Amino acid sequence: MSGYLAVLVVVLIFIVIFQIAKASEYVSILKGEKKSRQQSNRVNGFLMISFLVLGLIGVYYCNDLLRGKMGSGAASEQGEGIDSMIMWTLVITGIVFVITQILLFWFAFKYQEKEGRKAFYFPHNNKLELIWTVIPAIALTVLVAIGLRHWFRITSEAPKDAMVVEITGKQFNWLIRYPGKDGQLGRKFFKNINEATNPVGQDWDDELNKDDYMATEMHLVVNKPVKLIIGSRDVIHDVGLSHFRLKMDAVPGIPTTLWFTPKYTTAEMKIKNDNPDFMYEISCDQMCGAGHYSMKANIVVETQAEYDAWSAKQKTQFALAHESAAPAAPATPVADSTQKAVAVNVVKH
């Protein structure tokens, strides 16, 4: 009841303000303040044009100032196409924005209130309706089609030679699992999850799990396709790969996938960005809780030889889990030398 009353009060306030504004307008006309209002409109019209000119100059200046300072371009082959799509989207919408803003401010100046001028009102115009409905619809359809083409590309079946990496989100870090020499990930079941020994719930009865290993960072091979199998252990997360221009939701119980091909190693990107501390990053692009800001991991893109050397050093999760689960060996009892000496003396006597 109190909610309805509050809405009613707000509506009544708006009605009162509207009526006061109309009454003020009528009083102004009766007092002969029409010329004063026209003068005010002229000032406002001039300010509109000034704001338009200064605004366009500011947009151009900012664009010229920041051009080339927003990163070194996409670091994946698929990201190049997405960069191109974004550029064309900005070009098309930018042209429309500039034209409409120029018309908006120019009309406010040109058609301001003047003596002897009367506004022309028409309720409908088929030609205008057709222009501002069909043309935007065609332009937006083309942009959506281009976007869908890139979406279907990165979510399609990965090449047969693609490496496979599983990434699972949990509050507030990423669990990264790699298949072993067999190239296949073992099955998992959520009831098997153990934070200490089995963080993703691997089924140890599945032979494919015996050589899978996990790491705190993602290692990828340059110029080799990689398929990411993405999931979540708790809430919805989002695998954000900004350098590769990709992202994909991590949804509990619903695995999602995408694939891409890295173009530059981490070492090459350090040189390209003139930043010796550069590191590819996985971020969470979906608000997932109080620790969302800290949910990230590093990606290392390297040569095949470097990846093989790193992979050979990794210990399987099966071995780690069973090592930690093995009971401690019983301690070897230490003989009491005093008791032995007493026993010997007793025998002698």
Residue % of the chain over a pLDDT of 70: 86
269 CA to centre of own chain: 21
Residues 137 and 197 reside in one and the same domain: no
Residues 171 and 313 reside in one and the same domain: yes
Residues 133 and 239 reside in one and the same domain: no
Residues 269 and 186 reside in one and the same domain: yes
With CA atoms as reference, report the closest residue to 115 among 41, 208, 210, 226. Answer: 41
Residues 205 and 88 reside in one and the same domain: no
CATH of the domain at 316: 2.60.40.420
Task: Identify the top-confidence range among 126-130, 336-340, 342-346.
Answer: 126-130
169 φ, ψ (degrees, to nearest 5)? -90, 145
Strands 237-241 and 246-250: antiparallel
Residues 169 and 149 reside in one and the same domain: no
> Does residue 41 lie within any of the structural domains?
no
Give the contacts of 176 (CB within 8 A, at least 6 positions apart): 165, 166, 167, 168, 214, 215, 216, 217, 218, 297
Residues 199-246 have pLDDT tens digits of: 999 999 999 999 999 999 999 999 999 999 999 999 999 999 999 999
Residues 88-108 have pLDDT tens digits of: 998 999 898 889 989 988 888
Q: What is the pLDDT of residue 177?
A: 96
Residue-by-residue DSSP string for 30-97 = HTT-HHHHHHHHHHHHHHHHHHHHHHHHHHHHHHHHHTT-S-S--SBHHHHHHHHHHHHHHHHHHHHH
Residues 70-87 have pLDDT tens digits of: 667 899 999 999 999 999
> Does residue 56 lie within any of the structural domains?
no
Flag the least confident range among 142-151, 189-198, 265-274, 316-325. 316-325
pLDDT over threshold 70, residue 118 = yes
> Does residue 7 lie within any of the structural domains?
no
Quote the tokens at residue 87. Answer: 């550029």
Residue 133: domain span: 73-113+126-156
For residue 327, name the pLDDT band (cuts at 50, 70, 90). low
Number of domains in the chain: 2
Residues 193 and 108 reside in one and the same domain: no
> Does residue 250 lie within any of the structural domains?
yes
With CA atoms as reference, report the closest residue to 264 among 217, 220, 323. Answer: 220
> Does residue 108 lie within any of the structural domains?
yes
Residues 98 and 169 reside in one and the same domain: no
Q: What is the mean pLDDT of the chain?
A: 85
DSSP state of 216: S
> Does residue 109 lie within any of the structural domains?
yes
Flag the least confident range among 34-43, 191-200, 303-312. 34-43
> Does residue 330 lie within any of the structural domains?
no
> Does residue 335 lie within any of the structural domains?
no
Q: What is the pLDDT of residue 71?
A: 67
At 143 the three-state DSSP class reads: helix
Residue with tokens 């007793």: 346
Residues 139 and 202 reside in one and the same domain: no
pLDDT over threshold 90, residue 251 = yes
Residues 177 and 272 reside in one and the same domain: yes
Residues 138 and 199 reside in one and the same domain: no
For residue 114, name the pLDDT band (cuts at 50, 70, 90). confident
Average pLDDT, integer, range 9-27: 76
Residues 207 and 89 reside in one and the same domain: no
Q: What is the pLDDT of residue 233?
A: 93
Give pairs for 290-297: CB < 8 Å, separation 24+: 291/171, 291/172, 292/172, 294/172, 295/169, 295/171, 295/172, 295/173, 295/174, 295/237, 296/174, 297/173, 297/174, 297/176, 297/216, 297/217, 297/218
Flag the least confident range among 251-255, 297-301, 341-345. 341-345
